[in-house]
Amino acid sequence: MTTDRPHLADDPFEEAAYWAVRLAEAPPAFAEQARFEAWLNADPLNIARMEDIVRSWEAVEAHAAAEPIMELRQAALASARASATAHERAWHGIGWRAALAAASLLIAVMGAGVWLILQPTEYRTGIGERRLVTLADGSTLSLDAGSAVDVLYSRGQRELTVEQGRAKFVVAKDPLRPFTVRAGSKLVVATGTAFSVERLRDSVHVVLYEGHVALLDATTPRYRPIGLRGAADKGPVGRLLAPDQQVTLPAGDAPADATDVAVVTPADPVRSLAWESGQLIFNDEPLPRVVERINRYADRPLRLGDDSARALRVSGVFRAGDTGALVQGLQAAFHVHVREEPNAVAIFGGDPPG
Contact 127, 298 (CB under 8 A): yes
User: Residue 118: helix, strand or coil by DSSP?
Assistant: coil
Contact 280, 318 (CB under 8 A): yes
**Res. 124: pLDDT tops 50:** yes
Closest to 17 in 3D by CA, of 60, 62, 51, 42:
51
Structural domains for the chain? 5-111 (no CATH), 121-268 (2.60.120.1440), 278-348 (3.55.50.30)
User: Residue 123: helix, strand or coil by DSSP?
Assistant: strand
Closest to 5 in 3D by CA, of 97, 88, 120:
88
Q: Which pLDDT score is estimated for 240?
A: 84
* Gyration radius of the chain's alpha carbons: 25
Q: Which pLDDT score is estimated for 226?
A: 85
- Residues 99-113: pLDDT tens digits? 444 444 444 434 433
Q: What does the alpha-carbon distance between residue 27 and residue 34 come to, in Å, rounded to a whole number?
A: 12
**Res. 322: pLDDT tops 90:** yes
Report residue 22's pLDDT band, with 50, 70 and 90 as the boundaries. Answer: low
CA dihedral for 276, 281, 282, 283, sign (positive or negative): negative
- Residues 180-193: pLDDT tens digits? 999 988 889 886 79
More confident residue, 131 or 155: 131
Whole-number mean pLDDT of the chain? 78
Element (H, E) at 140: strand 140-143
**Res. 131: pLDDT tops 50:** yes
Q: What does the alpha-carbon distance between residue 181 and residue 149 come to, in Å, rounded to a whole number?
A: 9
Q: Which pLDDT score is estimated for 107?
A: 43
Per-residue pLDDT averaged across 322-350, rounded?
95
**Res. 163: pLDDT tops 60:** yes
Q: Which pLDDT score is estimated for 72?
A: 58
**Res. 167: pLDDT tops 80:** yes
More confident residue, 209 or 46: 209
Report residue 147's pLDDT band, with 50, 70 and 90 as the boundaries. Answer: very high
- Residues 71-84: pLDDT tens digits? 555 555 554 444 33
Q: Which pLDDT score is estimated for 36?
A: 78
Least confident of 67-81, 116-130, 218-232, 322-336: 67-81
**Res. 58: pLDDT tops 70:** no
Per-residue pLDDT averaged across 20-29, rounded?
62
**Res. 284: pLDDT tops 90:** yes
Phi, psi of 188 (to 5 degrees): -110, 125
Closest to 195 in 3D by CA, of 253, 141, 149:
141
DSSP secondary structure of 203-245? EEEEEEEES-EEEEE-SSSS-EEPEEEETTT--EEESEE-TTE
Least confident of 52-61, 288-297, 334-343: 52-61
Report residue 236's pLDDT band, with 50, 70 and 90 as the boundaries. Answer: low
Least confident of 71-75, 101-105, 286-290, 347-351: 101-105
Q: Which pLDDT score is estimated for 51?
A: 64
